[in-house]
Amino acid sequence: MGSATKLALAVFLFSCSSGAILGRSETQECVFYNSSWEKERTNRSGIEVCSGEKDKRRHCFSTWKNNSGTIEIVKQGCWLDDVNCYDSGECVERKDSPEVFFCCCEGNMCNEKIYYSPDTQAVQTTLNPYPPKPELCSTLLYSLVPIMGIAAILLFSFWMYRHHKLAYPPVLVPTQDPGPTPPSPLLGQKPLQLLEVKARGRFGCVWKAQLLNEHVAVKIFPIQNKQSWQNEYEIYCISGMKHENLLNFIGAEKRGNGMDIELWLITSYHEKGSLTDYLKANVVSWNELCHIAQTFARGLAYLHEDIPGLKDGHKPAIAHRDIKSKNILMKTNLTACIADFGLALKFEAGKSAGDTHGQVGTRRYMAPEVLEGAINFQRDAFLRIDMYAVGLVLWELAFRCTAADGPVDEYALPFEEEVGQHPSLEDMQEVVVHKKLRPTLREYWQKHTGLAMLCETIEECWDHEAEARLSAGCVEERIITMQRQTNLIAPDDILTVVTMVTNLDYPPKESSL
């Protein structure tokens, strides 16, 4: 082998390995195809521009069938954040002889070619035909496979070490049937018309829909996210889940057949959207902040509480596990209600809590013990994880409040100043666990009696020690006390604020968890 050839080989290997280490491909566009385009009233084929939450990855996917040697593409397009697709530059199906083939990948248009792993041959389709690779290229590829395999094993081992074996629920391949349709007590045969997409999340999209003469929200899950749909449906069906500050559940439906199955959850619709959306477009007064925070805390306190003896049975304690402003919806009077129970856990005496994967939720809102992977898998530990996120939501409200004598900044996510809009797990571990940083509490907030009290409550919610955090019920009591005390203060009493704060009788700090 000549020196030039050796140099080229070295450069090639270095570029491959350094590319894997230094970063991942950002997926902006994917090949789009829908075999049911006429029925679903979409384009048949083209390019789909991917969108999603700022701190989530985006991928491409393909599903296809092999009918006696003829490849039939079913669907192609953008895919939501999925750990099974991370750092995969090619769309490869790795299951042995599935009825329906599925693959996902990262990188622009990476689903243009699809592969089946047993023979690693590119599947030729009428949509995306490709000529066979030149013989020289194939020879080089086969000669480099052993070296690349060793490098891949080393990189994978390093990745597993750094990520502490991230635990995410496995993706269900679209060949699995979701089982019998659960009952929809209020739907029956009433006509339901989808109007417009209002939001996209990790497990599906949310539509505004018309049910007779009222608007409802329809959360649509693709079949591969059956587990999240099933879990959320089961949580809604628990005794005692009807509460003013929990999103009202109407029914569940299975729509379509075969590969076109969609799983629907129908709930009440709230025009103002999420707390995130509201704070982006609006500032809040002190009384509005107190109302939002109090109703949010009341809903979470009810969710966390174990309540026997209800008319429809025993309501167990439930941990939400994905508390964030995006999952708090605003009613027209600014009353908060908690939504999205796809990751929630119920705790019943003598029974297992079920799938207790530790590192789930949204990275930005993960408690220190979750980021460390050091969770005590007991009920109180999960409730305290929720309370850490409550501190961050209260900070978001304070950040957009007009009560203090100072500037009100544009809306920002928690830790956006520290880690930006797309933090990795390592970014959050460094900031939250190692440096023990929290979002900045502005100095001029301390000049307002109520905000000063709120800052103390926030700090006790996001305390690094889980056992020191307040309970949701205690937070609700604190906010009621704050509002009552600030309403008693007249303008002439401003000089006595320091004394009042010092002598104020708070509800007890001890967590009731």
Q: Which residues are designated catalytic?
A: 322
Q: Give the residue among 394, 387, 352, 396 at the shortest CA–CA distance from 369.
A: 387
Contacts of the segment 495-504: beta carbons below 8 A, 24+ positions apart: 497/449, 500/449, 501/449, 501/452, 501/453, 504/453
Contacts of 437 (CB under 8 A, 6+ apart): 415, 418, 431
Q: Indicate the burial class of 259 (C-beta count within 10 angstroms; 0-12, 13-18, 19 or more).
A: middle
How far is residue 495's CA from residue 491's CA, in Å, rounded to a whole number? 9
Q: Where are the alpha helices (DSSP H) in 171-272?
A: 226-236
How far is residue 330's CA from residue 275's CA, in Å, rounded to a whole number? 6
Q: Give the residue among 72, 86, 75 at the shortest CA–CA distance from 27.
A: 86
CB 338 within 8 A of CB 320: yes
Q: Give the residue among 439, 444, 486 at the shortest CA–CA distance from 458.
A: 439
Number of neighbours of residue 50 by Cβ within 10 angstroms: 18
Number of neighbours of residue 202 by Cβ within 10 angstroms: 18
